[in-house]
């Protein structure tokens, strides 16, 4: 099949590459010529393990091409996928990119003699495809739905695991305007054997929000438990979660073997969730609910807990060091999670800004970030160290913000020997408190009452 994907971000590029691996001819449409050239040379414009290799493979098979030529990409494309950004602006979803590309697609549909299916893959609040995208497509194409098809198929990939998620998905949700649209679009996935859920457009839209809000809720719940644990003498939330996880409804035993499901990675305490999805999607869902007269009390609490969670790191640091003025603080980890270079809504950014307000001197480090401008800190100036060792040298305190493997391997002696005052605040609970305390380090962690 010929497929056009609009958007060359995480979702657009991963979708395009994985669809060409299924044997389809894919054109990925972007706007930035430099980025398009880079992609066509086999390099992804962001860090995603394994994607460069797959991109090169599809390019060499001539099944994939990035382009800024909308017409060429859409001409005779049986499926046109919208994968542009849907940021949250002032706590509400911003549909301007969706509207813009819908207009562009509509204009191309006008001249098309073929039956083409438009598929919204971007995350959009319920009824957007029906009430926003469809009227624009009809207006600009001068055609009625039926002359073209319409689907909404949310994307569930996780950054850092995107290749596996897109090539071997758990499920594919296909929201269809009518059966013809859904049936035709499903042909894209004939070779993919996972369960396919056929539903209507709004249910597909809602499924994505329900999935993300569930995971965000588990994280904020875990962080609320951590706050209670922290104030209770002798409690370590890490052991609490070990005991909770081993409930066989969470960790089943199959043929006498323990199976560790991915969901328990979300029932863990830390310095908060970030990234391009959970923060914006929970806010968009709460705003959507409010707009239709539903008070989303739980979702709003999830958001509130998460917004204050990064501050816990600074609170613990101040407990250990007192005033932070002119203290040198090493921030280890900038991305919102390991195996991605995504800094959007990363708890580190919130923490760095708070440290500045406290008058601290910040030295940060991250295995995949090499340009401090990417942090978009405005007037705040940080030093970006090349290694964790360099960041820790003469530091008064260290904050562990991202659970990169590189940091997990750090021995307590590294902190003890390099830092001016060995104070470590573990925001991802990657270290054993005992080994740090035995090494003479003042160790504090999220959900660890400790010393
Ligand atoms: P992104 O910011 O990485 O990419 C968005 C892309 O859209 C950019 O390349 C941008 O240039 C492009 N774009 C915007 N307007 C355009 C236009 N008029 N013509 C052509 N291109 C245009 O965003 P993303 O992370 O890929 O997310 C895209 C959508 O998928 C969002 O709705 C997001 O919520 C959803 N989603 C993201 C993830 C994820 O992990 N990143 C997972 C599931 C769903």
Q: How far is CA 314 from CA 121, 192, 256, 268, 333, in A?
A: 38, 47, 44, 20, 15
In this structure, what token pair is assigned to residue 336? Answer: 């919102």
pTM for the whole structure: 0.95
Nearest CA to ligand 1 atom 14: 84
SS (HEC) of 307-344: HHHHHHHHHHHHHHHCCCCCCEEEEECCCCCCCCCCCC
31 lines ligand 1 (CB under 6 A): yes
- Percent of the chain scored above 90 by pLDDT? 93
| Ligand 1 atom closest to residue 159's alpha carbon, by position in its atom list | 40
Catalytic-labelled residue, pool 28, 151, 271, 277: 277
**Distance from the alpha carbon of residue 122 to the mean position of ligand 1, in angstroms:** 7
Residue 374 has pLDDT above 90, yes or no: no
Our answer on whether the CB atom of 83 is closer than 6 Å to any ligand 1 atom is yes
Nearest to 422 by CA among 439, 441, 445: 441
Rg of the chain, C-alpha, whole Å: 24
Whether residue 101 has its Cβ less than 6 Å from ligand 1: yes
Q: 417: Cβ–Cβ under 8 A, 6 or more apart, which residues? A: none
Residue 424 near ligand 1, beta carbon < 6 Å: no
9 lines ligand 1 (CB under 6 A): yes
Q: Is any ligand 1 atom within 6 A of the Cβ of residue 12?
A: yes
Helix/strand number for the chain, H first, E second: 18, 18
Mean pLDDT score, 149-166: 93
What is the model's pLDDT at position 434? Answer: 95
**CA distance linking residue 35 with residue 112, whole number of Å:** 28
Q: In a mutational test of the pocket of ligand 1, which residue from 119, 159, 171, 276 has the highest number of ligand atoms less than 8 Å from its CB?
A: 276
The whole-chain average pLDDT of the chain stands at 96
Known catalytic membership, residue 28: no
As a whole number of angstroms, the distance between CA 81 and CA 29 comes to 10
Distance 276 CA to ligand 1 centre (A): 9
Q: Which of 73-87, 159-173, 277-291, 423-437 has the lowest mean pLDDT?
A: 159-173
Interval 121-141: pLDDT, tens: 999 999 999 999 999 999 999
User: From atom 1 of ligand 1, which residue's Cα is the shortest distance away?
Assistant: 9
Q: pLDDT tens across 304-318, in order?
A: 999 999 999 999 999
Q: What is the pLDDT of residue 163?
A: 86
Do the beta carbons of residue 259 and residue 251 sit within 8 Å? yes
Residue 419, token pair as written in the block:
């830092």
Q: To test the ligand 1 pocket, which listed residue (14, 85, 119) has its Cβ within 8 A of the most ligand atoms?
A: 85
Is the C-beta atom of 123 inside 6 A of ligand 1? yes
């Amino acid at each position: 099949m010929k497929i056009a994907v609009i958007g060359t971000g995480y979702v657009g590029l991963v979708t395009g590459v994985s669809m060409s691996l299924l044997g389809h001819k894919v054109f990925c449409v972007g706007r930035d010529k430099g980025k398009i050239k880079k992609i066509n040379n086999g390099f992804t414009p962001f860090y995603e393990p394994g994607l460069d290799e797959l991109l090169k493979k599809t390019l060499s098979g001539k099944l994939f091409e990035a382009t800024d030529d909308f017409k060429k990409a859409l001409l005779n494309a049986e499926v046109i996928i919208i994968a542009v950004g849907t940021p949250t602006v002032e706590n509400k979803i911003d549909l301007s990119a969706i509207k813009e590309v819908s207009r562009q697609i509509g204009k191309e549909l006008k001249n098309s003699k073929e039956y083409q299916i438009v598929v919204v893959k971007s995350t959009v609040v319920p009824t957007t495809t029906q009430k926003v995208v469809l009227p624009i497509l009809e207006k600009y194409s001068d055609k009625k739905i039926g002359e073209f098809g319409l689907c909404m198929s949310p994307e569930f990939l996780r950054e850092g695991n995107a290749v596996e998620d897109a090539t071997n998905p758990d499920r594919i949700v296909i929201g269809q305007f009518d059966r013809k649209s859904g049936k035709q679009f499903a042909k894209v996935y004939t070779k993919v054997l996972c369960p396919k859920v056929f539903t209507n457009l709004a249910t597909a839209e809602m499924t994505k929000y329900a999935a993300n809000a569930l995971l965000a809720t588990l994280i904020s719940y875990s962080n609320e438990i951590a706050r209670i644990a922290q104030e209770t003498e002798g409690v370590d939330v890490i052991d609490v979660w070990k005991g909770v996880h081993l409930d066989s409804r969470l960790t089943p035993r199959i043929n006498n073997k323990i199976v560790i499901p991915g969901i328990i990675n979300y029932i863990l305490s830390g310095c908060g969730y970030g990234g391009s999805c959970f923060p914006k999607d929970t806010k968009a869902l709460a705003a959507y609910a409010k707009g239709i007269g539903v008070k989303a009390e739980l979702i709003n609490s999830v958001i509130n807990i998460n917004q204050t969670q990064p501050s816990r790191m600074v609170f613990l640091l101040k407990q250990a060091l007192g005033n932070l003025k002119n203290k040198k603080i090493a921030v280890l980890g900038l991305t919102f999670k390991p195996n991605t270079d995504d800094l959007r809504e990363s708890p580190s950014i919130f923490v760095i800004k708070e440290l500045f307000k406290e008058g601290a001197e910040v030295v940060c480090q991250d295995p995949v970030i090499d340009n401090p401008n990417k942090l978009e800190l405005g007037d705040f100036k940080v030093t970006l160290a090349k290694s964790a060792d360099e960041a820790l040298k003469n530091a008064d305190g260290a904050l562990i913000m991202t659970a990169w493997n590189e940091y997990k391997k750090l021995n307590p002696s590294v902190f003890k020997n390099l830092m001016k005052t060995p104070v470590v605040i573990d925001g991802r609970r990657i270290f054993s408190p005992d080994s740090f305390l035995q090494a003479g380090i003042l160790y504090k962690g999220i959900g660890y009452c400790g010393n």
